Structure 1
Amino acid sequence: MQINIGETLTRRTRRMPNREALVETDSGRRFTYSDINARTNRLANGLRDMGVIAGDRVGILLMNCSEFVETFFAVAKLGATLVPLNWRLTSDELEFILKDSGSTTLVFGPEFSDQVAEIKSRGYKTDLTRYVQLGGVQLDFSTDFTALTANNPETEPEIKGGNDDLLFIMYTSGTTGLPKGVMHSHNTVFAAITNMMATNETGIDETTLLSLPLFHVGALTPAFQSIYSAARLVITRSFDPLKSWEIIQQEKATNTLLVPAMLQAMKAVFDPAKHDPSSMRSMVSGAAPVPVSMIEDFAKMGISINQVYGMTETCGPGCLILGEDAAARPGSTGKGYFYTDIRITDPEGNECPPGVSGEVCMRAPNNMVGYWNRPEATAETLIDGWLHSGDVGVADADGFVTIVERLKDMLISGGENVYPAEIENVLHTHAGVADVAVIGIPSAKWGESAMAVVVKTPGSDVTEDELIALTKAKLAGFKCIRAVRFTDIIPRNASGKILKRALRERYADVHAPE
């Protein structure tokens, strides 16, 4: 059987045409499965008439909206390949991705008209020839999205492609250099959906609140899962903690996906006199461990904080730990998903025994096809069916995995490996620390030492000496921070991961005291 992810929307509509599929909280628009499928077909037929064919790459530069979902399913039905674009990127960064992917069509929103016009004016030297604009003052070289869909029939287009054909190319954040395009096929995405459903035990009665941007796999794969499982998807253009509680109450949302900073923001504004969280069963968090105290606070509301470890390369799922396990095993990211095997390996590729750290490797049907036009990087990452994550982890005797640190973020002090995450966990226990990131700085004596970049909690008067003393009390000497710099915000990428390279550049002139 040929699996085409676009066709899953068609099949779901056949069975449940009148079931509500998607809610846009910002516009108030509500769509049944029949509505979404009809709109998708009109777009697919329009794109086909414009010349989009199977194998073409279609860039999408939209905020969270129904049209994002429709574009993805329309492109999938045509057998083309979507290229989700991070709307936080600069014009230069967007241009690189569009060129690298060989995109022939770009669907974009009015918020990005200036960037698109700038890229076009540079004499863009690729196959990009079609521009489709959703709303705003129409650019003279673009086709109006609404007009394109209004003038086309709702009939199903001929389904093209599927199985091992590419469904999307999603570019990594590029924290270690130029971004790489991660390739996923219809089969790998279908495997991610079924892997998540088997592990999360979710189904038709779910309502997912989605505030994370859809250009990120941590939002896109759950959106696919929602459609596949006949659940209900509630989307917001952007995250607002206060509005999130209001939406949960109004829409009876049962689950949502967040990063720890978003959890913290929601906790800070929660008012039991105003907010009713009783429908919310679980909140899935990724990018960094959630403090036990926060897990316990949400548990008092009846909400389980389930933490996920995954990557764009795995289409999302890697490991999962439920709230009750996380409280007992602080810092752990859990066990592999239902269809995911986890192995911790040493530099020679041998499996490490429990308690010994090594690189986290994953074998799953949802692992990426490879990196677009990067055969060497693919060969370094996919070895004998195992995806090498580049993360240092350790598994206990029961198979629970704890991520220690990114290999590239590890620092070496006096010949000893130092993992910043361990130091950050200690500093997070101080009431005066709202956010923290640890990086390496040059040391004349030890080669490299640890420095903390700290965001204070409001009203805190915590000092550098106080935080240095805390690490000395909790950690081995070679792990202790030697300096602290206070800042208003710590830079993160779209998935919530700290941009360590940006911090290293910002504090490049700081050296450890003698």
Structure 2
Amino acid sequence: MRDISRWIVTHAGFQPEKPAIRFGSEVLTYAALAARIERLAAVLARDLGIGRGDRIAWLATNHPDMLALLFAAARIGAILVPLNWRLAAPEHVFILQNSGARALIGQRQFLDALAGSDLPEEVRVVALDGPGETLAGLIAAAGPPPDAAGMPGDPLLIVYTSGTTGRPKGAVLTQSAIACNAVNAIHMHDMSSADTVLTVLPMFHVGGLNIQTTPALHLGATVILHERFEAGAFLAAVRDQRPTLSVLVPATMAAAVGHADWPSTDLSCLRAIATGSMAVPLELIEAFHARGVPVIQIYGSSETAPIAIYQRPDRAFATAGAMGRPGLNTEIRLVDAAGNDVGPGIPGEVLVRGDHVATGYWNDPAETARAFADGWFRTGDVAEMDANGDYWFRDRIKNVIISGGENIYPAEAERLLRELPGVADCCVVGRPDPRWGAVPVAVVVRADATIGREEVIAHFQGRLARFKQPRDVIFVDELPKSALGKVRVEEVSRLVLEATQTPA
């Protein structure tokens, strides 16, 4: 096997003039992308002194050069570290220090925000845009490419988790993991070289990078790349450029459905929308289904590259809301607290094994030993398999509320809450209780200011076991969320404790 930059070189031989990436008015053909990868490999090796195993950090919004850099790193056996541009400077500095990055390539606005920070001395900083030394300038002056040194087993990506608790951890994904994930993605979507993928999610996350984008380039398909998500631009691209596939998370699905152009936009070009990232509200899925667009759910994480469990388009309508079934190259176990496998209808922690799973956490042997054992990755998520073999998400283990000895999965109450008119967003967390140990509390963002506590509480009567029903309701203007729209449950829990301790 060869390094994955050969994907692009091979497609350039078969279809040199086919568009690989469309980015605004720029069109990068497979031949042009292959040439840019070779020049970037030369820049990395000769100008920046990057060798096999060295780390290069990327700090920018979506840009074709991130993809070119990924394949250039693969060519020489180096490792790309994508940075979440929404993080604060101290968070970026920690990741740069933890990863031991030797170079940082990014947009000037983000690099300027790091000015005055305690950047490691060994980090060479190169801007995408001027003034000063720029990547474009280095590429223009690049010499011949170095000899290919990358191998399938080489680490290629270090993807740092969101860090909602403690310091972020860097999941290490090899070139073969990216290739294996691409095969899962192709099976999930029935993807072919005839597809056009619209990428609007940030590629610093494996969802934006690896659910459709790298698999499309593996196949020789075309990627329409947006710098960042904007609902109007997404709908305009669907209308005018006619992509066949795209990935949205619940927050971006809601923005698209709520946009003024939603009713008038012709969605018939879309073979499917993939989604995941959290328990997806059924009403968002149904909004796309009502327009004839299958919504296929994917379950995974940074540590699984991310595709582990998924639906396929032919099952989307019949199993709306399900996680799907184990991927083509994936093994799944559901286990109880003692590590014993559980059967259908019984919730258990999801364990994942496959060649797409990370080798561990960078520079963190303790966390690696805790999360990876005997080839299995412990996800910390709870799911349940039904009698038909479909998996259904229940909750994060750390979110489970133990009340009077009973396990309560907040996602159950949250699904019901989202059905209540007047609820714009919600989160259910546990609050310490002297009698029960903990009781569920609903934190609600109102779309209708007239909705009150009694109405929320009454919504659960007869629909959920009494011990699972929220005992209190706290109204807030917004919920704290991550860059991809995941609710930061730990922050919500702190908010609930503060509200409890504050005298009325």
Q: TM-score band, normalised by the shorter chain?
A: over 0.9
Q: 1:210 aligns with which of 178, 199, 204?
A: 199
Match of 2:420 among 417, 430, 433: 430
Give a deviation string over 1:148-169, Cα, whole Å, max 9, x none. Answer: 011124x543111211111011
Alignment of 1:93-242 (within 5 A): 93-119=91-117, 122=118, 124-125=119-120, 127-128=122-123, 130-138=124-132, 143-153=133-143, 155-221=144-210, 222-242=212-232
Task: Quickly say closer, same or farther: Cα 1:320–1:270, change in 2 above 3 A.
Answer: farther
Give the 3-state SS of the residue equivalent to 1:511 in structure 2.
helix
**Partners of 2:250 and 2:293 in 1: how far apart?**
15
Aligned to 1:266: 256
CA contact 2:441–2:471 (8 Å) conserved in 1: yes
Q: Which piece of structure 1 moves more, 491-500 or 59-68?
A: 491-500
Partner of 1:244: 234
1:78 aligns with 2:76: yes
- The alpha-carbon distance between structure 1 residues 296 and 505, as it changes in their structure 2 partners (threshold 3 A), is closer
Letter in 1 for 2:80: L
Q: Structure 1: any 5+ residue segments left out of the alignment?
A: none
Q: Which residue of 2 aligns with 1:453?
A: 443
Using the TM superposition, give the Cα deviation of residue 468 of structure 1 relative to its aligned residue in structure 2, in angstroms.
Answer: 1.2
1:102–1:126 Cα contact (<8 Å) kept: no
The 3 A distance-change label for structure 1 pair 340 and 490 is: same
Q: Structure 1 residue 200: deviation in Å? A: 2.1
> Identity of aligned pairs, percent?
34
Q: TM-score, normalised by structure 2?
A: 0.95
SS of match in other structure, 2:5: helix
Q: Match of 1:338, SS?
A: coil
Task: Tell me the alpha carbon deviations over residues 273-319 of structure 1, each in whole angstroms, 9 at most, x when there is no partner.
Answer: 74221211111011123333433331232211111111111101011
Whether the 8 Å CA contact 1:216–1:494 is kept in 2: the answer is no
Shift of 1:126: 5.7
Native 8 Å contact 2:430 2:440 kept in 1: yes
Q: Counterpart amino acid of 2:34?
A: N
**CA displacement, residues 161-185 of structure 1 (integer Å, 9 cap, x when unaligned):** 2111110111111122111110011
SS for the counterpart of 1:408 is: helix
1:329 to partner: Cα distance: 3.9
Q: Kindly provide the amino acid, as one letter, of the partner of residue 437 in structure 2.
A: G
2:16 maps to 17
Take 2:202 and 2:262, find their aligned partners in 1: how far apart are those partners? 28
For structure 2, the 5+ residue unaligned runs are none
Partner of 2:452: 463
Q: Work out the CA distance in 1 between the residues paired with 2:103 and 2:262.
A: 48
The residue type equivalent to 1:251 in the other structure is Q
Letter paired with 1:178: R
Distance in 2 between residues matched to 1:108 and 1:271, nearest whole Å: 33
Q: How many angstroms does 1:82 deviate by?
A: 0.6
Hey, what's the Cα distance between the residues in 1 that align with 2:441 and 2:310?
30
Shift of the alpha carbon at 1:7? 2.5
Selected match of 2:333 from 343, 347, 372: 343
Give the counterpart of 1:44 among 33, 41, 44. 41
Alignment of 1:412-423 (within 5 A): 412-423=402-413
- TM-aligned CA distance change 1:195 to 1:327, over 3 Å: closer
Q: Which amino acid aligns with 1:306?
A: I
Instruction: Tell me which moved more, 34-43 or 426-435.
Output: 34-43
Partner of 1:509, secondary structure, is helix
- Preserved CA contact (<8 Å) 1:175 1:499: yes
8 Å Cα contact 2:189-2:312 kept in structure 1:
no
Displacement of 1:59 in angstroms is 0.5
In the alignment, structure 1 residue 411 sits paired with structure 2 residue 401:
yes
Report SS of the residue matched to 2:349: strand
Partner amino acid, structure 2, of 1:84? P
Distance of 1:382 and 1:126 partners within structure 2: 33
In structure 1, how many angstroms separate the alpha carbons of the residues matched to 2:496 and 2:292?
Answer: 42
Q: Distance in 2 between matches of 1:430 and 1:327?
A: 23
Q: Output the amino acid matched with 1:437.
A: C
**How many angstroms apart in 1 are the aligned matches of 2:199 and 2:345?**
36
Q: Deviation digits for residues 10-37 of structure 1, max 9, x if unmatched?
A: 2221221110111113xx2111111112
Q: CA RMSD in A?
A: 1.9
Structure 1 residue 216: Cα displacement: 0.3
The aligned runs of 1:276-425 (5 Å cut-off) are: 276-322=266-312, 325-425=315-415
**Aligned partners of 1:7 and 1:159 also within 8 Å:** no
How far, CA to CA, are the matches of 1:137 and 1:73 in structure 2? 26
**Would the alpha carbon gap of residues 486 and 86 (structure 1) be closer, same or farther in structure 2, given more than 3 Å must change?**
same
Aligned residue type for 2:82: P
Supply the AA of the counterpart residue of 2:78: A
* Whole-Å separation in 2 of the counterparts to 1:387 and 1:4: 25
Q: Against the structure 1 CA distance between its residues 104 and 272, is the aligned structure 2 distance closer, same or farther, given a 3 Å change threshold?
A: closer
Superimposed CA distance per residue, residues 405-425 of structure 1 (whole angstroms, 9 cap, x where no aligned partner): 111111111221111111101
User: Deviation of residue 48 (structure 1)?
Assistant: 1.4
One-letter code aligned to 1:127: E
Please tell me the residue identity of whatever aligns with 1:65.
H
SS at 1:342's partner residue? strand
Relative to structure 1, the CA distance from residue 265 to residue 353 in structure 2 (aligned partners, 3 Å threshold; closer, same or farther) is same
* Structure 1 pair 159–442 and aligned structure 2 pair: CA distance change class (3 A): same
CA distance in 1, matches of 2:216, 2:244: 12
Q: Residue in 2 aligned with 1:510?
A: 499
Aligned partner of 1:62 among 37, 60, 63: 60
